[in-house]
């Protein structure tokens, strides 16, 4: 279809806008990934799509197009961690320490990274992975290799400078065919939408009210997990496990982030163990988070 019809569908205002069908959204995303239309039209669509806003069916169609361009591998017994590609700005990452906490289990971590995307000016997964030795039970995938067409849109997205539908669909590409997945979510109203987009791609799928939108729990928060076609909500408080880590509210540098990973405090190591227990629970290795946490002690 003529791409301008898609711009018209999302960019004519509340009275003229309409939702795209699954096939239309898939075709739209294929044209964007191929960059067969001018960058100005791509930016115009992404802005209009965000403001319309996007529907679950549109997200699923766009994700289907991305799947067709994604080189996938099989990494058994793994949980895919859906991080935002705009990074973390105020706190260090914890996944390298989580991997160490899981070293005597059969659960592996899958993470994905790329150059920084809008809108937060944070430290990215790629920044960390390029500057630290990863534990053997972490599999890092660079998007330049597994989905180069999406990587090639980085310049257009950064020039636009705003969040777009990509920020949602890029989190969980299922690049390693993982059985389990968890990603971060800011607001409870988005839980149902994320479940509708991603849940049927995994044996077990969960969302977490994580630090800076990541699948990392730093303070008291909620976990939503799919069980028997129902969304179960669980509140997790680190204090319950004797953990008193204080998250930062200040900007953090890459050097500071790496320092906290290379020389972690006792509280940070305990927090890593709690996150490891959460992942084991989501991967159905234990019946409760408490059981998993005790097993890691």
- Residue-wise pLDDT for 145-180, tens only, equals 999 999 999 999 999 999 999 999 999 999 999 999
Q: 163: phi > 0 → left, psi -120 to 50 → alpha, else beta; which? A: beta
* Parallel, antiparallel or unpaired: strands 204-208 and 221-227: antiparallel
Residue 114 CB contacts under 8 Å (≥ 6 apart), including other chains: 85, 124, 126, 142, 143, 144, 150, 151, 154
What per-residue confidence (pLDDT) applies to 189? 81
What per-residue confidence (pLDDT) applies to 258? 97
Q: Looking at the DSSP assignment, which residues form a beta bridge with residue 82? A: 183
What per-residue confidence (pLDDT) applies to 249? 86
At residue 247, does pLDDT exceed 90? no
Label residue 210 exposed, middle or buried (CB < 10 Å: 0-12, 13-18, 19+). Answer: buried
What per-residue confidence (pLDDT) applies to 146? 98
Q: List, as one string, the DSSP characters of 162-220.
A: S--THHHHTS---TT--SEEEEE-SSTHHHHHHHHHHGGGSSEEEEE--GGGSS---SS
At residue 181, does pLDDT exceed 90? yes
What per-residue confidence (pLDDT) applies to 71? 98
What per-residue confidence (pLDDT) applies to 147? 98
- Domain annotation for the chain: domains and CATH numbers: 3-68 (1.20.970.10), 78-296 (3.40.1030.10)
Inter-CA distances, 247 with 75, 150, 219, 227, Å:
32, 33, 8, 31
At residue 232, does pLDDT exceed 90? yes
At residue 186, does pLDDT exceed 90? no
At residue 188, does pLDDT exceed 90? no
What per-residue confidence (pLDDT) applies to 228? 78
Q: 161: phi > 0 → left, psi -120 to 50 → alpha, else beta; which? A: left
What per-residue confidence (pLDDT) applies to 190? 87
- Residue-wise pLDDT for 269-286, tens only, equals 999 999 999 999 999 999
Query: Do 95 and 109 form a contact (C-beta atoms < 8 A)?
Result: yes
Average confidence score pLDDT of the chain: 96
Q: What angle do CA 191, 109, 85 make, to 5 degrees?
A: 55
What per-residue confidence (pLDDT) applies to 227? 80
At residue 187, does pLDDT exceed 90? no
What per-residue confidence (pLDDT) applies to 8? 96
Residue written as tokens 């039209």? 41
pLDDT above 90 covers what percent of the chain? 93
- Residue-wise pLDDT for 35-77, tens only, equals 999 999 999 999 999 999 999 999 999 999 999 999 999 999 9
pLDDT above 70 covers what percent of the chain? 100
- Residue-wise pLDDT for 74-119, tens only, equals 999 999 999 999 999 999 999 999 999 999 999 999 999 999 999 9
């Amino acid at each position: 279809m003529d791409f301008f019809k898609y711009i018209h569908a999302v960019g004519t205002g509340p009275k003229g806008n309409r939702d795209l069908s699954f096939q239309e959204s898939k075709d739209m995303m294929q044209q964007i990934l191929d960059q067969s239309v001018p960058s100005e039209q791509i930016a115009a669509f992404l802005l209009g799509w965000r403001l319309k806003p996007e529907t679950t069916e549109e997200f699923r169609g766009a994700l289907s197009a991305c799947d067709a361009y994604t080189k996938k591998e099989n990494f058994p017994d793994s949980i895919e961690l859906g991080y935002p590609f705009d990074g973390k700005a105020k706190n260090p990452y914890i996944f390298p320490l989580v991997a160490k906490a899981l070293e005597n289990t059969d659960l592996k971590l899958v993470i994905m990274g790329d150059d920084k995307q809008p809108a937060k000016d944070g430290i990215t997964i790629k920044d960390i992975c390029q500057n630290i030795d990863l534990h053997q039970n972490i599999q890092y995938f660079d998007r330049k290799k597994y989905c180069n067409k999406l990587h090639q849109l980085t310049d257009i997205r950064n020039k636009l400078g705003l969040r777009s539908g990509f920020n949602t669909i890029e989190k969980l590409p299922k690049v390693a065919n993982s059985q389990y997945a968890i990603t971060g979510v800011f607001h409870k109203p988005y839980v149902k939408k994320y479940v509708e987009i991603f849940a049927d791609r995994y044996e077990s799928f969960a969302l977490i009210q994580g630090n800076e939108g990541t699948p990392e729990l730093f303070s008291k928060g909620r976990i939503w997990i799919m069980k028997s076609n129902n969304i179960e909500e669980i509140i997790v408080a680190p204090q319950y496990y004797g953990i008193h880590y204080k998250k930062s509210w200040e900007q953090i540098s890459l050097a500071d982030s790496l320092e906290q990973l290379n020389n972690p405090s006792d509280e940070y190591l305990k927090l890593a163990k709690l996150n490891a227990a959460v992942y084991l629970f989501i991967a159905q290795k234990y019946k409760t988070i408490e059981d998993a946490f005790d097993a890691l002690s």
